[in-house]
Structure 1
Amino acid sequence: MIDRAFCIKMAQYNAWQNRQIYRTLDGLDTKDLTRDRGAFFGSILGTLNHLLWGDQMWMARLDGGAAPPGGIAGSPALHPTLSAWNAARFPLDGRIRLWAKSLRNLDLQGDLTWHSGATGRTVTRPRGLCVVHMFNHQTHHRGQVHAMMTAAGIAGAVSDLVFMPEDAGWR
């Protein structure tokens, strides 16, 4: 389904997008970032926090590292400010990049089993599908953030994968 090169490219894209979002939103009032904009996780910051939480959860499943505190319901409140979010986001993006670079194609085969708090049961799915889901989840929620930014009159940065600079996400 996927290979190491796909994971590296998507980890690069993830880091590039998160840096652009931070640069665009840096300096915006916390009140504007936490204003309920009708999205599933409420606000821009709430959605970014949920995405961070989700990435931490998936990485814990994939690399065996620490899982984030709490559950989905509390994820929008993970960090109270954009600076706190960024302080957690930057090392997580590094963790994702290192994980992707350390993969062998064989590591993407077989099944992954975990307890899902969302469903309340143990789930087993193909590992490659779980990795695709993690990267798709990132893109989905960043799209929601982009839509909220646009509605708030904040110009978003380029988000097209095909226009990502070759060295983006590695600096």
Structure 2
Amino acid sequence: MITPDYCRTMARYNAWQNRSMRLAMETLSLAELLKDRGAFFGSILGTANHLLWGDAMWMSRFSDWPKPNLPGAESPRYMPTLATWGAERFRLDAHILYWSDHVKALDLTGDLSWYSGVAATQMRKPRALLVMQLFNHQTHHRGQIHAMLTAAGCRTQDTDLPYMPQQGPWL
């Protein structure tokens, strides 16, 4: 279904896009980042926090990353400021890059079982599908953030995969 090369490409894309998003977010005040913009998670920072929370939750299932210390319903408040969000985003993106550089084809086979607090049930799905979910979830919510940043007057960078630099900086 997917390969280690897919994981490496998407991990680089994730880090590249998060860096770009952070640079745009840094042009706004905390009040602007927290302003309710009608998105599902309210604000730019709320949506960025939800995305960070989701990435941390999936990586806790795929690797040795610690599970977030709050439930999914509270994910928009995961990090209180852009500085704390940026530091944690940097750490997690570095971990996702490291994980992707070491993932083997065998690691993408079989099922993964976990308890989903969001769905309040035990789950079991193909591991490859869940890795695809990690990357799809990132792209989905970054698209929302991109739209909110654009509406707030921020200059954003390209988001298309063919324009991703062949070399870093990813972070």
Q: What's 1:95 paired with?
A: 95
Q: What's 2:67 paired with?
A: 67
Cα separation, 1, equivalents of 2:147 and 2:112? 33
Cα separation, 1, equivalents of 2:69 and 2:151? 31
Moved over 2 A (4+): 168-171
- 1:134 corresponds to which letter in structure 2? L
Count, aligned residues: 171
Cα separation, 1, equivalents of 2:61 and 2:97? 15
Q: What's the TM-score, normalizing by structure 1? A: 0.97
User: Is the 8 Å Cα contact of residues 57 and 68 (structure 2) preserved in structure 1?
Assistant: yes
- 1:168 corresponds to which letter in structure 2? G
Shift of 1:17: 0.5
Cα separation, 1, equivalents of 2:70 and 2:29? 26
Give the direction of change, closer, same or farther, for the CA distance of 1:131–1:60 in structure 2 (3 Å limit).
same
Secondary structure (helix, strand or coil) at the match of 2:167 reads coil
Cα separation, 2, equivalents of 1:122 and 1:153? 43
Shift of 1:27: 3.7
Secondary structure (helix, strand or coil) at the match of 2:5 reads helix
Q: What's the TM-score, normalizing by structure 2? A: 0.97
User: Is the 8 Å Cα contact of residues 112 and 125 (structure 2) preserved in structure 1?
Assistant: yes
Q: Per-residue CA shift, 1:124-144, capped at 9, x if unaligned? A: 000000000000000000000
Structure 2 gap ranges (5+): none
- 2:131 corresponds to which letter in structure 1? V
Structure 1 gap ranges (5+): none
Q: What's 2:153 paired with?
A: 153
Q: Share of identical aligned residues, percent? A: 51
Q: What's 1:110 paired with?
A: 110
Shift of 1:162: 1.0
RMSD in angstroms over aligned alpha carbons? 1.1
